[in-house]
Structure 1
Amino acid sequence: MLSPEPRTLLQILKAETRPHHERAERVVRLVSPDLTLSGYRRHLEALHGLYAPLEASLAARLEGLYPELRLAERWKLPLLEEDLRALGHEDASLARLPRPARLPSLPGVPEALGTLYVLEGATLGGQLLLRHLTRHFEGISAGGFAFFRAYGEAVGPMWKAFGEALLRACPDPSLAPRVVRGAQDTFDTFEVWLREVHW
């Protein structure tokens, strides 16, 4: 009898983070039929509070180490700021937005890769939210949804490229639990923060 193929790191991450992912998804209310423009804006403000420190931490851990990750193309903070400016923010008010007291601990590269997995997965999943938001706010000046549009038509290829780069950056199977912990911690941070700030 043939032994099963070993799971890839992406398969391990998907399986081991599923409950954390589901709990985080449950506090996202962007598909609510009674979503208001101010509710949408508050959600983007909450994401800004997370992405600003998370992306800074990821840059400190990963930038320059793995060119194949194409980090400069993956930062979402400028897109969030574009959306928030369209909804009335300016530099001073963006700088005052609250940030969570607790962020994922990123003691090393594997944990940072786990955090990046969550952020890139959110970009992939954001395509469903984009379709909903463009319908929901049709005829209303809600900005260009830059954060959810992210890579445009290249969302699929960028996810595939991330998966390949992840395996090259972390080829040692013994490091998989650390990558998983980084991802789980990031999902949990999203869940706790969105519960704190939700309208």
Structure 2
Amino acid sequence: MDAQALHTHPGAELSGRAKRLKEATHQTHDRLDKSIMAHNPFASRERYGLFVKVQHQFHRDIDALYANPALDALLPDLRGRRRYDLIGQDLADLGIEALSPSAAPAFQSSDDADLPTALGWLYVAEGSNLGAAFLLKEARKLGLSETLGARHLAASPEGRGLHWKTFTAALDAVELSDAEEQRVMAGAHAAFARVQGLVDEVFAG
């Protein structure tokens, strides 16, 4: 399987800030994708369940952002993009308990997050949803679907490509200072690092 399929889409051309983020995080992103696939997350339902644990913990970290009024004003349908509860339902479908959190979420409140940093984390979260068509295809081979165990991998009603395009267009349109731009980049790198840490922890266990 092609690890790059995890987060890419043939029609997902980027410009502006989204393109800069993609270029700046390419190596980190590539390393993460290859790391995930090296653990054979679709070899069995049990292996897939470990992947869902990673997803659940990452989305626990960012769940508060989807209720942030300032971010909601900047990004289209932010509340509708939230997937934390769906991932929890997927774990329940699989009969798997969530990872016991060892620390507080990265973002603990809906209204006190640093917006540029949050934009970087949300870029990573939305990008992972874009590539979920590949993951859903593999999950179906395990007898799973958008209504059983793979709910969080389902496409939005308007389709993955348009869902991503509307997000990146809004991301590109946010006016930021040079210092804030650096915090967006740092946020994206931190998000990828967080997922990598979770992959290492969960699959090693």
TM-score (norm 2): 0.76
Q: Please name the residue that 1:54 is paired with.
A: 62
Partner of 1:14: 22
The alignment-based identity, stated in percent, is 28
Q: Which moved more, 1:171-180 or 1:113-122?
A: 171-180
1:73 to 2:80 alignment: yes
User: Which amino acid in structure 2 is aligned with residue 160 of structure 1?
Assistant: K
- Matched residue count: 183
Deviation at 1:46, TM superposition (A): 2.3
Residues 6-155 of structure 1: pairs in structure 2 closer than 5 A: 8-29=16-37, 32=40, 35-56=43-64, 58-59=65-66, 62-69=68-75, 70-88=77-95, 93-94=97-98, 97-99=99-101, 101=103, 108-134=114-140, 136-138=141-143, 143-151=148-156, 154-155=159-160
RMSD across aligned C-alpha pairs, in angstroms? 2.9
Cα distance change, pair 152–143 in 1 and its aligned pair in 2 (3 A): same
Q: 1:104 deviation in Å?
A: 5.3
For 1:49 and 1:153, locate their aligned partners in 2 and report how far apart those are by CA, in whole Å.
Answer: 27
Q: Structure 2: state its 5+ residue gaps.
A: 1-14
The aligned residue for residue 192 of structure 1 is 197
State whether residues 63 and 82 of structure 2, in contact with CA within 8 Å, keep that contact through their aligned partners in structure 1: yes
Q: Check conservation: 2:132, 2:153, Cα contact below 8 A.
A: yes
User: Offset at 1:18?
Assistant: 0.6
For the Cα contact (< 8 Å) 2:32–2:196, is it kept in 1?
yes
Label 1:128 to 1:152 Cα distance change in 2 as closer, same or farther (>3 A). farther
Alignment-derived partner of residue 4 in structure 1? none
**Contact (CA 8 Å) 1:49, 1:100: kept in 2 or not?**
no
Whether the 8 Å CA contact 1:28–1:194 is kept in 2: the answer is yes
Q: Which has the higher contact order (CA 8 A, sep 6+)?
A: 1
CA distance in 1, matches of 2:144, 2:120: 38
Task: Give the TM-score, by structure 1 length.
Answer: 0.78
> 1 CA distance for matches of 2:158 and 2:89?
19
Q: Is the counterpart of residue 172 in structure 1 residue 176 in structure 2?
A: yes
For the residues of structure 1 that align with 2:92 and 2:38, how far apart are their CA atoms? 19
SS, match of residue 36 in structure 2: coil
Q: What letter matches 2:90 in structure 1?
A: D
Question: Secondary structure at 1:27's aligned position in 2?
Answer: helix
Alignment match of 2:163 (pick from 158, 170, 174):
158
| Cα distance in 2 between the residues matched to 1:162 and 1:99 | 29
Structure 1: runs of 5+ lacking an equivalent: 1-6
User: Which protein has the larger Cα radius of gyration, Structure 1 or Structure 2?
Assistant: 1
